[in-house]
Amino acid sequence: MKTFTLLPVRSLLEGGRESAKPGSILKAGGVDLLDRMKEGLETPDRVVSIAHVPGHDGIEVGPPARIGALATLARLDSHAELRRVYPALADAAGGAATPQIRNMATLGGNLAQRPRCWYFRQAEFDCTKKGGAQCFALNGENRFHAIFDTDVCCCIHPSATAVALLAYAARVDTVGTRGKRSISIEDFFVAPREDPTRENQLAAGEVIEAVVLPAPAPGSRSVYKKLKEKESFDWPLVETAVSVSVSRGTIQDARVVLGSVSPVPRRARGAEKILAGARPSAELIARAAEAAVAGATPLSQNAHKVRLARVMVERALREILA
């Protein structure tokens, strides 16, 4: 790893300003960044650390909830009130990586981490995500890759909390050299078709400040489910977060989100349409799960992920509509 200067800053704005300078990069928990630096994917001269900026690790459950970008995954997992109101987010945070990593990893960093595609993660592959001409996984080893939106870059987005936040229709508040803004989580992510070299629309000098979750509708329930090869220290094969509100036996509103299936977390709108206005039944759940994976375009080695995604959605719906 290249030697660098560590520059601790005292505010997020200062962090944004300093990290926008040439050869600089922003660090919060530093978990993913350290990985990328060890792999030679990033070779900054200066690492601008916002890890110890005070006042941005708070969790106000509200609702609406406001969670500081520097809140760690471990705190999201252990916050009883957050877990009661937003269980999918607490489970997504608590199921990531390992206890050691969850103690360091922040919510903002979790949203902004880079994909785990093994071609992207090896410096010698000049893939589309690095600005190169081809996606090596497309015709290569792609068991762990996308089954939707595979035309430009078929990596999958690695953030578990993003999947839950999408189900809760969260917003991402940012601060930067050009001022503050609030972005819908759905608009926050950038699909490869738009720009394969990035996963979100954070501009140079812009830093995530907080995540805001609206109050859940009355009678709503939510759940996060995932499937991993090993039970710790692993990224999901597929994951889902589902939030539904039920009133007088009828589903009013449903948000079904699939993770680890596409370059950015994906709303399964087909499934949501089937659920909205319907009365829960085994048949409805099966139909919605089927719709969630309709139109999948699996690669040569990952057709099984279509099945896994369907099963995860089915199990999630069964759990909250039972």
Partner 1 sequence: MPAVGQNVLRKEGRGKVTGAAKYVDDLSFPGMLYGSTIRSTIPCGRIRSTRPEFDPSEWVVAGVPDIPGKNVIALIEDDQPCLADGRVRHVAEPILLLAHADREALAGAKVAVDYEPETPVYDPAASPRVFKEILIEKGDLGKGFSRAARVVEGEYRTGHQEQLYIECNGVIAVPENGGITVYGSLQCPYYVHKALVVLLGLPPERVRVVQTETGGGFGGKEEYPSMLAGHASILALKAGRPVKMVYDRVEDMLATTKRHPSIVRHRTGVASDGRIVAMDIDVLMDGGAYLTLSPVVLSRGVLHATGPYRCDDVRVHGRVVMTNTPPNGAFRGFGAPQTLFAAEVHMERISEALEMDPVRLRELNLFRPGDTTATGQVLGADCSAAEVLREAVARTGFDARRQALSGTNAGIGLSLFFHGSGFTGGGEVRLASRASLALTPTGARILVGSTEIGQGTRTIHAQIVADALGIPYENVEVSDADTACVPDSGPTVASRTCMVVGKILQNCALEMKARLGSLSPARYLELHGPLVVTREYEKPAELEWSDETYRGDAYGAYGWGCNVAEVERDPDTFEIRPVRLTAVCEIGKAIHPTLAAGQIEGGTAQGIGYAILEEVVFRDGAMANAQMTNYVVPTTLDTPPIDVVILESAYPHGPHGAKGIGEMPIDGPAPAIVNAIRHMGVDLRQIPATPERVMEASCVSP
User: What is the nearest approach in angstroms of partner 1 to the Cβ of residue 234?
Assistant: 7
Determine the interface stretch with partner 1 among 62-70, 107-115, 228-236, 257-265 (rule: CB under 8 A): 228-236
Contact call for residue 282 and partner 1 (CB under 8 A): no
Token pair recorded at residue 119: 């071609």
Q: Residues 230-249: x/- map of binding to partner 1 (CB under 8 A)? A: xxxxxx--------------
Token digits for 44?
């900054």
Sign of CA dihedral 100, 105, 111, 113: negative
Q: Which of residues 100-129 bind partner 1 (CB under 8 A)?
A: 116, 118, 121-122, 124
Q: Which of residues 37-56 bind partner 1 (CB under 8 A)?
A: 38-40
How far separated are the first and last CA of the chain, in Å rounded?
Answer: 52
What DSSP state is assigned to residue 129?
G
Question: What is the C-alpha to C-alpha distance for residues 51 and 103, in angstroms, rounded to an integer?
Answer: 12
Task: Please tell me the distance from the alpha carbon of residue 28 to that of residue 107, in angstroms, as a whole number.
Answer: 10
- Measured CA to CA, the distance from residue 322 to residue 320 in angstroms comes to 6
Choice between 51 and 311, CB closer to partner 1: 311
Residues 6+ apart with CB under 8 A from 73: 93, 94, 96, 97, 101, 102, 105, 106, 107, 110, 161
Q: How far apart are CA 66 and CA 223, in angstroms?
A: 20
From 8, 63, 132, 140, residue interacting with partner 1 (rule: CB under 8 A) = 140
229: contact with partner 1 by CB under 8 A? yes
Least Å from the CB of residue 116 to partner 1: 6
Q: Work out which of 170, 308, 317, 321 binds partner 1, going by CB under 8 A.
A: 308
269 binds partner 1 (CB under 8 A): no
How far apart are CB 7 and partner 1 at their closest, in Å? 19
Residue 96 or 183: the one with the smaller Cβ distance to partner 1 is 96
Q: Which is nearer to partner 1, 115 or 265 (CB)?
A: 115
| DSSP SS3 for 163 | helix
C-alpha separations of 194 from 152, 158, 217 in Å: 10, 19, 33
Contact call for residue 132 and partner 1 (CB under 8 A): no
Residues making contact with partner 1 (CB under 8 A): 1-3, 38-40, 116, 118, 121-122, 124, 140-141, 143-144, 227, 229-235, 298, 303-304, 306-308, 311, 314-315
